[in-house]
Structure 1
Amino acid sequence: MPGQLTRLIYVDDSGHQASGLCVYGWVHFHPDRWALVLRRWLDVRKMLQREYGIDVDSELHATDLVNGRGRISKHVPERYRHDGSIFWKDFGRDVVRLLLTEIGSLEGLTVGSVFERFAPDPDQATKTSLYRKLVQQWERELVGEEGLGLVFVDGNGTDHSYRTAHRSFELLDRRVVEDPVMIDSTQSQFVQIADLVAWSAYAAVERPSRLDFSWGWYERHLAARDPRRAPLDLAGCPRPPRECVSSNSKTP
């Protein structure tokens, strides 16, 4: 079994509890690209600080920004001020679009997303079943590239379902090494990027009417970094093989 680590993977979830849609989005890159990708992203964060008053250490959370709740700017540009009020939704949505454009231009970075629809209000065990399919997909891909991967997941370490999913695979065959590393999104730029990917995949699949402006964000900004070019539907794929392709996926 090869011993070279070829992927660092950062993953976050999204979806719509009421409709049963579960989504995972992630970014990955070769370990030797870690510093270069992070350096470029920190340059983006510094630009946000200069132009939009968003501190480099402030958490970027897509849902909050898009819905006008992510009020993390210390000096909102004047173009978002009207009649004495700040139009936080306009501000947040423009910030997310800018960030997605930057993600799409990050050389050395690969993005991806998967989804599955369950009965409304799925429990954690049901959601974790999708995560397990995702891990198996990574396992198959790592076999193909004769490499190993390490996964970082948003969380505080109290949810053991992700760890259980990893341990369900045969130890000597595993290409995703160790348990997932649980890391608070406030402390990880890459998990925040994964959040933006996951939310954009959710908008592309769910197509909520009040967020129609975001339906094409994934295709417009992220598809170039996604080998499948679109979120992958894992329904009906108990062993996610390469031939299980989403009905809305394009050939890379």
Structure 2
Amino acid sequence: MYFCYADDSGADQGRTLTGLLVPEEGWNDLLHHWLEGRRKLEEEWGVPKNAELHANQLVKGRGRPCATEEQNKRFRSRSARIAAHDLMLKQLARCESLRVLTVAGRTTQVAEVYQSFVNHLEAWALDQDTRFMIMFDGLSGPLDADALAPEDARAAWEQAIRNAKPYRDTHRGLPLASRRVLEDPVMQDSKYSQFIQAADLVGYAAFHHLALKQPEVWPKIAPVGLMSKAYKRLSHHWLPGHGTDGIVWADSDTRP
């Protein structure tokens, strides 16, 4: 069985969804390499291991993730931020069993891309005779329900459940006798999930890699070439048989 950690990226009329797939027996190895990268970030730039890594903020030099003001000033440069992002993708590439899939769509709706994402994973899992669970970036409920009045907490939980409905319906719409994805999607807040953060970093790089090749989809975006270079570090992990460079379009007439 595989665990799949997924996050979306993109802008304007195009969205992408990237999943990191790791078999249950490789989960510890992936975490080892990721945490080793987090240790290097802390040693080199003072970014604590529990600080959330958000690709958009990291690469664009936003936020103050370091432990001290002096470290934040040093880490503010574009070269440092891109080097940190590249370091983490290098670490992910060290996990031999890791697989990466990105699905892109000409839409503003992530849920539409998610449907195609699951369909591709279903076909892959059938071919591999395996099953998988999806952990997807999103809130599973209020962050601090105890601090809310009972009626407010109930409303917050109901809203979180409604927000997950399109993704839940994708799973439940599959034929039960043959489906390979187990359970509903497990919504995880990226702030508390190292692997959702990893999917975000890879997804951001995959988006820039694709935007360089398909500028007509994102005419307002200036893709960062170094993000494409970082994404290529995972070339041996791209899911084979699905699109080009591990990226497949949701609809067949817009494949790269």
1:225 aligns with 2:237: yes
- The one of 119, 122, 127 equivalent to 1:144 is 127
Alpha-carbon distance in structure 1 between the residues aligned to 2:239 and 2:131: 19
Q: Which structure is higher in helix share?
A: 2
What is the CA-CA distance between 1:33 and the residue it aligns to? 1.4
1:103 aligns with 2:92: yes
Alpha-carbon distance in structure 2 between the residues aligned to 1:7 and 1:63: 27
Residue of structure 2 equivalent to 1:129: 112
What is the CA-CA distance between 1:230 and the residue it aligns to? 1.3
Cα-Cα RMSD: 2.4
- The one of 88, 91, 113 equivalent to 2:102 is 113
Mapped contact 2:209–2:223 kept (Cα < 8 A):
no
1:199 aligns with 2:204: yes
Residue of structure 1 equivalent to 2:157: none
Partner amino acid, structure 1, of 2:236: A
SS in 2 for 1:173: coil
Alpha-carbon distance in structure 1 between the residues aligned to 2:70 and 2:231: 26
SS in 1 for 2:101: strand
Mapped contact 1:13–1:25 kept (Cα < 8 A):
yes
Mapped contact 2:34–2:88 kept (Cα < 8 A):
no
What are the ranges of 5 or more consecutive residues in structure 2 without an aligned counterpart?
A: 141-159, 213-220
Mapped contact 2:103–2:116 kept (Cα < 8 A):
no
Alpha-carbon distance in structure 2 between the residues aligned to 1:70 and 1:90: 15
Residue of structure 2 equivalent to 1:209: 222
What is the CA-CA distance between 1:112 and the residue it aligns to? 1.8
Count of residues in correspondence between the two structures: 223
Residue of structure 1 equivalent to 2:7: 12
Residue of structure 1 equivalent to 2:147: none
Residue of structure 1 equivalent to 2:53: 60
Residue of structure 2 equivalent to 1:33: 26
Deviation digits for residues 117-174 of structure 1, max 9, x if unmatched? 23xxx2xxx3212111110111111111111111100111312221111111122221
Alpha-carbon distance in structure 2 between the residues aligned to 1:135 and 1:235: 11
Q: Between 208-217 and 142-151, report the one with greater CA deviation.
A: 208-217
Partner amino acid, structure 2, of 1:132: Q
With the length of structure 1 as denominator, give the TM-score of the two structures: 0.80
Partner amino acid, structure 1, of 2:91: E
Partner amino acid, structure 2, of 1:92: R
What is the CA-CA distance between 1:77 and the residue it aligns to? 8.0
Q: 4+ residue stretches of structure 1 with deviation over 4 A?
A: 75-78
Mapped contact 1:25–1:198 kept (Cα < 8 A):
yes
